[in-house]
Amino acid sequence: MNTVTQLKPKSVSRMKTLISKNISVKPLNLQGEMGATVGSIHADNPRITCRNVNVFYGENHAIQDINLDIGTNEVISLIGPSGCGKSTFLRCLNRMNDTVESCRVNGEIKIDDVDVYSKHMDVVPLRAQVGMVFQKPNPFPKSIYDNIAYGPKIHGLASTKAELDQIVESSLRKAGLWDEVKDRLDQPGTGLSGGQQQRLCIARTLSVEPEVILMDEPCSALDPIATAKIEQLIDELRQRYTIAIVTHSMQQAARVSQRTAYFHLGKLIEVGKTSDVFTNPLHELTQDYITGRFG
């Protein structure tokens, strides 16, 4: 079902006035509905479905009524101004927000029809199934080998040393790092360059056989060459995994993702094919952001 709608010019200017006065408003669409997302929230072959997701930090309503599918083997970019809730939304998908005491999540998030917020859900295997790569590379203070071997060991994925060696090698290969580190596996992971550390963290995520990979600004601490390597890697990983990536770089979103979701003040304003969102945005707020007039 396509829910394409557009703001009336009048309601846009009203909204801009209110935003400039720092008052939270719900956008009106042509049907007069409150807060509906422009574009299709649906993916052809959804791996993750989010319905009416709200997140609160105490009184702060940080994520408001988000509906979004994330498709199998797609890369979706989450973009929007600082503080609009991109990281908060991403962290809902593998319950990383559970670690924040003031945080309350409601609504429904399903991965392959399994309810992520079911009280029976064990978050340890969930966070392996839905792995996360952070903005700043965060290798463990261990050897390169042990950085990768740690997860498979605690998840019982290898029964012999040879099997563990195999997982370490294949994870490093998938992350495009094997050739650079194969002769120094016993050296500290923290001794690698920033770009290598980030690929080490990606290899660590891959070592526990994830299905979904969440990336929160994975290249923002990297130089253009390391960034290009990670972007190429994301494109390769898409063949096997589903990837959601938060980025402040519109060029990066355009290069790596098939769909793009634009967030603004905790709401999902627009979602669609990346090429459409960047060349023909339907919502004026999206247009303002991608043309640099906001954020």
Question: Least distance from C-beta 63 to ligand ATP, angstroms?
Answer: 8
Residue closer to Mg ion, measured from CB, 81 or 188: 81
> Which residue of 29, 64, 77, 87 would you call a contact of ligand ATP, by CB under 6 A?
87
Which region among 49-57, 83-91, 116-124, 200-208 touches Mg ion (by CB under 5 A)?
83-91
What number of other Cβ atoms are within 10 A of residue 146's Cβ?
17
Q: Running DSSP on this structure, what letter comes out for residue 280? A: S
Number of residues that bind Mg ion (CB under 5 A): 1
CA–CA dist 250, 4 (Å, integer): 22
CA–CA dist 89, 97 (Å, integer): 9
> Which residue of 2, 31, 82, 239 would you call a contact of ligand ATP, by CB under 6 A?
82
Instruction: Count Cα neighbours of 284 within 13 Å in the Cβ-side half-sphere.
Output: 14
Long-range CB contacts (within 8 A, 24+) of 109-117: 109/48, 109/49, 109/50, 109/51, 109/53, 110/48, 110/49, 111/47, 111/48, 111/211, 111/212, 112/47, 112/211, 116/92
85 forms part of the interface with ligand ATP (CB under 6 A)? yes
Number of residues that bind ligand ATP (CB under 6 A): 13
Q: Using CB under 6 A, which residues numbered 33 to 62 contact ligand ATP?
A: 57, 60, 62
Residue closer to ligand ATP, measured from CB, 85 or 195: 85
Residue closer to ligand ATP, measured from CB, 85 or 152: 85
> Which residue of 12, 46, 86, 244 would you call a contact of ligand ATP, by CB under 6 A?
86
Helices 194-206/144-154 angle, 10° precision: 20
What number of other Cβ atoms are within 10 A of residue 104's Cβ?
13
Residue closer to ligand ATP, measured from CB, 5 or 249: 249
Amino acid in position 50: C
- Chain positions contacting Mg ion, by CB under 5 A: 87
- Chain positions contacting ligand ATP, by CB under 6 A: 57, 60, 62, 80, 82-88, 100, 102
